[in-house]
Structure 1
Amino acid sequence: MATGSATAHGQARRAANSKAVAAAARAGFVARGVIYALVGVLSLRIAFSGGGEQADRGGAIAEIAQKPFGTALLWLLGIALAGMALWRLSEAAFGQAGPDGDKPSKRVMSAGRCVFYGFVAYSVLSYAAGHKSSGSGSSDQNSQDVTAKALEWPGGQWIVAVAGAGVVAAGVWIAIRALLRKFEKHLKTTEMSRRTRQVVSFFGVFGGTARGIIFATAGGFAITAAVQHKPGKAKGMDNTLRTFADTPAGPWLLALIAVGLIAFGVFSWANARWRKV
């Protein structure tokens, strides 16, 4: 009986490490790059024209839908993101690539990412299927709605404040890891030329730092909403990005962050090529 169980486990692990799962992961990185690059482009438009575009995932989905063959592209994007979720699920079940990939903490993180990408894939595919409210909803309105409901719970202010602090911590962690180039251990750097390594590293540092700053800033707004007991103070990605334009640096800070998001998109495409999966 034990032998049969071990055999089944071995077969499942081999399936998780198969070329199909690797291809799904790489397709997912391409899709992630598309979304971040588009959000960056939309942010640049806001910075220099004050446009009414929605600079978040919903805005990126709506932008794609308006293009020729937009619906077909959304189906491809959603399927690719589902592939990313599948890969993260395999990591949660069998561990990540690398010597320390079996650590419980890494498996838990992979499980969380699986849930996140599963939700994103569902929202994109639902939009492609005709449920327009599923994928293009405002991240700002969603954040405020969730915050308002949480504040009504017993101890709601503490819950929102702790959640906000968690997002701030995640943002700082993302930025620090990017600055320390921790991502390099996940890449097949030996297959890159010296120049390619430098370029990929630049995009990883710049893009990851910008992404971390956005997370940390959004978490700060959640904490403010909790302290003041005002759900309207919570901001999604769109309003968080717009806030950078309200600083003394004006639209130039938003433009810098926007270019950082585009850089993270390019870095995601580099992961599609050189990530160890």
Structure 2
Amino acid sequence: MNARVLAVTGRSRVRRAANGSAAEGAARAGLTARGVIYLLVGVLALRIALGDGDRQADRGGALAELSDKPFGAVLLWALGAGLVGMALWRLSEALFGATGKDGHTVRKRLPAAARCVFYAFVAYSVLAFAAGSSGSGSGDRQSRDVTARVMELPAGRWLVGLAGAAIVVAGVVIGVQAVRRTYRRKLKPGALGPRTRRLVDVTGVGGGVARGLVFAGAGAFAVRAAVDYDPGRVKGMDDTLRSFAGTPLGPWLLGLVAAGLVLFGVFSFALARLRRV
């Protein structure tokens, strides 16, 4: 009985440590880093919409833009460290549960684990860029190369199609959740005054819808690549954004989506301050 009590007490202490100030600092640093990337990608996409873009509107382009700034190397390392914090925060949620009444359910832990893997990869690519590696490269080219390798596997075509469909669903969910303002459930109680609430809603809804559109568009191109059995149909973030300019609305739609990504960057900054962790 004593051993059981000690085990339970030990797990509780580990959980409190995971959800303590270290995890909170990692989460807020990660959200800030995410905001920087989306803000820069949005600005680069706006330049493309205005016909003045000479860089790709994706993570690689954002990192190159940041590296050109004063103390660019320091900023890149700080950005990578923030994304490591994001990955560790999601790992703590996967292992010990997230905030909220259902935060310890499998339904919440599995997405946290997936986000941990995703942000660990993003953090690695940013740190590799900061260290002078050319491994980050073009996101569009990387997407096509990975798709080509997957298609060589048994049932690879189906895997690409299912992955694309999952990304489309994720994009729709992101957009719907933004419109429904479900992010409010994760904010600190009483943290929103009238002006802050308006700022969070404008950036959260506009940014979330734009982000959802980009996800859904990229997923749709992956599904098409699977149907046509052509890895060249896959598009990364830059090509997906540029494809909006090819619609009947032309550069106007690209400009709106780009502005939405800027809003999502600002929304991430707001979450870094206001989110419950």
Q: In the alignment, what sits opposite 2:27?
A: 25
| 2:265 aligned with 1:276 | no
Q: In the alignment, what sits opposite 1:53?
A: 55
Q: Secondary structure at the match of 1:49?
A: coil
Q: Secondary structure at the match of 2:263?
A: helix
Partner of residue 94 from structure 1, selected from 93, 96, 101: 96
Q: Which whole-Å CA distance do the structure 1 matches of 2:156 and 2:115 have between them? A: 25
Q: Secondary structure at the match of 1:55?
A: coil
Please identify, of 118-127 and 205-214, the stretch whose mean Cα deviation from structure 2 is larger: 118-127
Q: In the alignment, what sits opposite 2:76?
A: 74
Q: What are the residue-to-residue correspondences of 1:178-257 with 2, within 5 Å?
A: 178-257=178-257
Q: Which whole-Å CA distance do the structure 2 matches of 1:183 and 1:192 have between them? A: 13
Q: In the alignment, what sits opposite 1:134?
A: 135
Structure 1 stretches of 4+ with a deviation exceeding 4 A read: none
Q: Return the offset for 1:80.
A: 0.8
Letter of the 1:43 partner, please give it. Answer: A
Q: Return the offset for 1:39.
A: 0.1
Q: Which whole-Å CA distance do the structure 2 matches of 1:172 and 1:43 have between them? A: 21
Q: Which whole-Å CA distance do the structure 1 matches of 2:89 and 2:24 have between them? A: 7
Indicate conservation of the 8 Å contact 2:200/2:270, yes or no: yes
Q: Which whole-Å CA distance do the structure 2 matches of 1:134 and 1:144 have between them? A: 15
Q: Deviations over 1:127-148 (max 9, x none)?
A: 11222x233x111111111111
Q: Deviations over 1:121-177 (max 9, x none)?
A: 11111211222x233x11111111111112112222211111111110110011111
Q: In the alignment, what sits opposite 2:4?
A: 2
Q: In the alignment, what sits opposite 1:152?
A: 152
Q: Return the offset for 1:118.
A: 1.1
Structure 1: segments with no counterpart, 5+ residues: none
Q: Which whole-Å CA distance do the structure 1 matches of 2:172 and 2:148 have between them? A: 25
| Identity level (%) | 57
Q: In the alignment, what sits opposite 1:42?
A: 44
Q: Return the offset for 1:3.
A: 3.1
Partner of residue 104 from structure 1, selected from 103, 106, 124: 106
| 2:173 aligned with 1:173 | yes
Q: Which whole-Å CA distance do the structure 2 matches of 1:100 and 1:77 have between them? A: 31
Q: Secondary structure at the match of 1:191?
A: coil
Provide the alpha-carbon RMSD of the alignment. 1.1
Q: Secondary structure at the match of 1:206?
A: helix
Indicate conservation of the 8 Å contact 2:143/2:236, yes or no: yes
Q: Secondary structure at the match of 1:190?
A: coil
Q: Secondary structure at the match of 1:97?
A: coil
Q: Which whole-Å CA distance do the structure 1 matches of 2:154 and 2:32 have between them? A: 42
Partner of residue 122 from structure 2, selected from 120, 123, 148: 120
Indicate conservation of the 8 Å contact 1:58/1:139, yes or no: yes
Could you tell me the TM-score, scaled by structure 1's length? 0.96
Q: Deviations over 1:217-261 (max 9, x none)?
A: 111000111111111000000000000111111111000000000
Q: Return the offset for 1:189.
A: 4.9
Q: Which whole-Å CA distance do the structure 2 matches of 1:30 and 1:272 have between them? A: 6
Q: Which whole-Å CA distance do the structure 2 matches of 1:154 and 1:92 have between them? A: 31
Indicate conservation of the 8 Å contact 1:189/1:274, yes or no: no
Indicate conservation of the 8 Å contact 1:189/1:197, yes or no: no
Q: Which whole-Å CA distance do the structure 2 matches of 1:89 and 1:52 have between them? A: 37
Structure 2: segments with no counterpart, 5+ residues: none
Q: Return the offset for 1:50.
A: 4.7
Could you tell me the TM-score, scaled by structure 2's length? 0.96
Q: Secondary structure at the match of 1:67?
A: coil
Q: Which whole-Å CA distance do the structure 2 matches of 1:272 and 1:71 have between them? A: 23
Q: Which whole-Å CA distance do the structure 1 matches of 2:240 and 2:80 have between them? A: 25
Q: Which whole-Å CA distance do the structure 1 matches of 2:69 and 2:195 have between them? A: 35
